[in-house]
Amino acid sequence: MIAGVRYARLFWIGAPGAVVLAALIGISALLRSDFTETDGQVLLTMLVLLVSSGTAVAGFTIAERGHEPVGWTAVTVAVLSFFFIGTATWTSFDDETLNKLAGTFALGLVATLLGTTQLVLHRGQHDWAVLVTWTALLLAFATTSVGIWEEPAGDGLWKVAGSCWIVGVMGWVLLPVLQRFTAAAVVPAGGLRVLAALGDVELVATRSGDGLDLQLERGERLLLRRRN
């Protein structure tokens, strides 16, 4: 997990920088009383970079947890999405085919971000929520992409696509809530919960009065190690 932590740290260092740059561009446009096309292109590029980077970090994380095909697919989608959306942005959206490609990859990026971050948060419970979310996101991406490329006359396809997006987002929001309530409701046998083990020694959490109430400083963690 060391590499995953490193990627996440790089993301959280770069993300504030992108936000600050976007804020400076917005302030500059306000002071000039003129929001130019270039300002909009830079802001959109920063937004896409932020979302793509977050998706790539989530992909690296789940790849390290054993879901390598899904993880590396997410990284690939993030890179291609940034390329196509960035290219369409800086060509002023003049090419219709490129615009459709950029729109398709934008949808894929959003769906991938939701799906991968849900896997990052998944703790082995409520697998049905993950299945429902991924199925809805895949259907949402497929139906919306068909709508972009085929441009159907009726609104039936768009209604199906919108419903799938809503179900996908709701599943993404619901999983951490369910996991939190489930974890709070579980009472371990004997009132003990094993946190770590080293040989015959276990570090356990307890609600009884026999344990130690340790006050850790910000950023500190407990470390179980064998004395040399």
The residues, ordered by sequence, that sit 6+ positions from 38 with a Cβ below 8 Å of its Cβ are: none
Question: If pLDDT is split at 50, 70 and 90, which confidence band does 2 have?
Answer: very low
| Mean pLDDT for the chain overall | 82
Task: Give the per-residue pLDDT at 9.
Answer: 58
Q: What is the tens place of the pLDDT at every residue in 19-57?
A: 676 677 677 777 777 777 887 888 888 889 889 988 988
Task: Give the per-residue pLDDT at 149.
Answer: 93
Q: Is the pLDDT of residue 83 over 90?
A: yes
CB-CB neighbours of 149 under 10 Å: 12
Task: Give the per-residue pLDDT at 88.
Answer: 94
pTM over cut 0.95 = no
Helices (H), the chain: 2-32, 37-64, 68-90, 96-121, 127-150, 156-185
Q: What is the tens place of the pLDDT at every residue in 195-227?
A: 777 667 777 777 666 677 777 777 777 777 776
Residue pair 25/39 in contact (Cβ under 8 Å)? The answer is: yes
Q: Is the pLDDT of residue 132 over 80?
A: yes
DSSP class of residue 189 equals: G
The residues, ordered by sequence, that sit 6+ positions from 202 with a Cβ below 8 Å of its Cβ are: 194, 196
Q: Which two tokens stand for residue 126?
A: 């409520």
Q: Is the pLDDT of residue 86 over 60?
A: yes
Task: Give the per-residue pLDDT at 1.
Answer: 43
